[in-house]
Structure 1
């Protein structure tokens, strides 16, 4: 059984890996790195930014970040599920894994990344983690993620049922994550990824965001808005499988996952959730640490090489504090945690209504001309 190393072990291993090498000139004669093994990622980074992300925090960033979860959580400390964690199996065995119900929609991310695997001499596991880290660097407010290189390619697919679904109970979600090696707090920390998320599958024929942010920024607004009472569903379409619950901003195309709603209100996780409502630095540190763990699930970090220097630094946020959307206020908060709720300002004016494109896309920039 491959051990999941502690965060401290991961950090020390990464530091030691970088410290044991002097800077070398890469074969391209232009770039230098702490280890020659990192050199291949310079061309990959430029290719991703130019030909996938367009140096923007958009849908392809969301898709790439989502793959880190759907690849890495395919792991079990008890042996209940097959899979070796963050090993790229969702790409290498895409004909199997993308057909799992919990992986609905991941074929978009797999299809987008697969061509880069043929153009660059990297493994599928490294590609997934590197693409997510590079992509997130385009999102204002995001932390600069760690990237360790050297994951071997997957030899078996992950097992069906290893990935929690939005309609699952909190008990089921926390139990599954615990079996993958994550605490209840770390589950909440990973959900900061929903600040830059969108759904193509939960609202049939439409695209919806889990909170009010277009274009995407990585900020704490998500942790506030999930705590607000719901009033309806976007586009008037209710997902009957239980994955979606009422959103506080349905007219803005905002959808809310049942799992987010429940985790924000469960006594085991409510205070951890609330702690990030108005604390960007805490959210970023929590997410950085949880992602460091997720990206190395099932891997022997002592055999990996720290190439974090290739990850660009994200731009800072212009707005650093969550605020109540227009038409909502503190009375709309459904608070479970007994700690004092932060005092926040509110947007003024009438609530914004986002018109729907003819193709059902709420992002007006994507509307057909």
Structure 2
């Protein structure tokens, strides 16, 4: 299908993973016949709710937005190509982090309970799938952050209550070899891994070191900027910045370091690479790509100033 072709092209690097296409106006109120006739209509209304939920008082993205980005990573990332080839093709972007009733309680997912509850509520209120609401929320949260890209978003995934296999999420104690191998097993190569790790630009840690709860991984956690790439490499640290050991070792690995360095001071390069890499991540475990619908047009515009 045309959508399947677009996703394929994004994965192959011949089509952009972000888009400025906007200007959508819903054909009717949510729940009306006119709105139901347009798959993307309800998502426009969802986007309005998310903009309110994810925007802080200063116009930056808030803690709820940061959690939404992490939730998107954790639902989609729980998939393995080697397990799928061995007959365990489940997990991935299927909503199971919420719907299984058990995944959300894993140690990997500490701190995601509140956003998971909100995502489930949105799915019920608006009558959409949980897998889709999780990925839409992650993409929306990124563009809610000042300077964040407008990643292309697709809906129509199949929900699953089957818990994803355990042990598929990265840990802050992993070596670079372990992290790179883990992501390669998800079809994510070091180039894309370097881009995806930049999401730590807006993250805060609460679990790794509880004495430094709330510390960001760079000095501007409310902004989707490239400060993370430079600050991670600098000796010492800002008193309010907490560096994950896994970020340090991965950034300095020869398979990642060139791309990591290339993002320093180059916002547009990182944004484009992140968007393409995130589309790939958001399709892990999704086996009905040809039946999806692109609804990027309902997302808010990028915040290029703040």
Structure 1 segments of 4+ aligned residues over 3 angstroms from their partners: 8-12, 26-33, 51-56
Residue 267 of structure 1: how far off its partner (Å): 1.2
Measure the CA separation in 1 of the matches of 2:33 and 2:259: 42
Q: Is the 8 A contact 2:60 2:223 kept in 1?
A: no
Q: Is the 8 A contact 2:119 2:130 kept in 1?
A: no
Aligned to 2:241: 254
Residue 225 of structure 1: how far off its partner (Å): 0.2
Residue 163 of structure 1: how far off its partner (Å): 0.6
Aligned to 1:123: 129
Q: Is the 8 A contact 1:52 1:112 kept in 2?
A: no
Equivalent residue of 2:44, what SS? helix
2:10 is aligned with 1:7: yes
Residue 181 of structure 1: how far off its partner (Å): 1.2
Q: Map Cα deviations across residues 320-360 of structure 1 (whole Å, 9 max, x no partner).
A: xxxxxxxxxxxxxxxxxxxxxxxxxxxxxxxxxxxxxxxxx
2:48 is aligned with 1:46: yes
2:123 is aligned with 1:97: no
- Matched residue count: 286
Q: Is the 8 A contact 1:166 1:258 kept in 2?
A: yes
Q: Structure 1: 5+ residue runs without aligned partners?
A: 231-247, 319-369
Residue 193 of structure 1: how far off its partner (Å): 0.8
Aligned to 1:358: none
Q: Is the 8 A contact 2:154 2:294 kept in 1?
A: yes
Of the three residues 72, 75, 90, the one matched with 1:71 is 75
2:285 is aligned with 1:314: no
Label 1:289 to 1:225 Cα distance change in 2 as closer, same or farther (>3 A). same
Measure the CA separation in 2 of the matches of 1:175 and 1:31: 48
Label 1:159 to 1:53 Cα distance change in 2 as closer, same or farther (>3 A). farther
Q: Map Cα deviations across residues 220-277 of structure 1 (whole Å, 9 max, x no partner).
A: 11100000013xxxxxxxxxxxxxxxxx11x2x1100011101111111111100101
Of the three residues 290, 293, 305, the one matched with 1:305 is 293
Of the three residues 212, 217, 220, the one matched with 2:219 is 212
Equivalent residue of 2:259, what SS? helix
Aligned to 2:62: 58
Q: Structure 2: 5+ residue runs without aligned partners?
A: 1-6
Task: Give TM-score, length-normalised by structure 2.
Answer: 0.85
Aligned to 2:3: none
Over the aligned positions, Cα root-mean-square deviation in angstroms equals: 2.8
Measure the CA separation in 2 of the matches of 1:184 and 1:137: 24
Aligned to 1:224: 230
Residue 116 of structure 1: how far off its partner (Å): 1.2
Measure the CA separation in 1 of the matches of 2:89 and 2:281: 17
Q: Map Cα deviations across residues 258-311 of structure 1 (whole Å, 9 max, x no partner).
A: 111011111111111001011111011111111111111122321100111011
Measure the CA separation in 2 of the matches of 1:44 and 1:112: 12
Instruction: Flag the structure with larger Rg.
Output: 1
Measure the CA separation in 1 of the matches of 2:198 and 2:292: 26
> After the TM superposition, which residues 329-348 of structure 1 pair with which residues of structure 2 at under 5 Å, given as runs?
none
Equivalent residue of 2:119, what SS? helix
Equivalent residue of 2:206, what SS? coil
2:150 is aligned with 1:162: no
Measure the CA separation in 1 of the matches of 2:293 and 2:114: 29
Aligned to 1:327: none
Residue 109 of structure 1: how far off its partner (Å): 2.3
Bigger fraction of residues in helix: 2
Aligned to 1:152: 158
Residue 112 of structure 1: how far off its partner (Å): 3.0
Of the three residues 93, 97, 106, the one matched with 1:86 is 93
Q: Is the 8 A contact 2:54 2:61 kept in 1?
A: no
Equivalent residue of 2:144, what SS? coil
Residue 11 of structure 1: how far off its partner (Å): 7.9
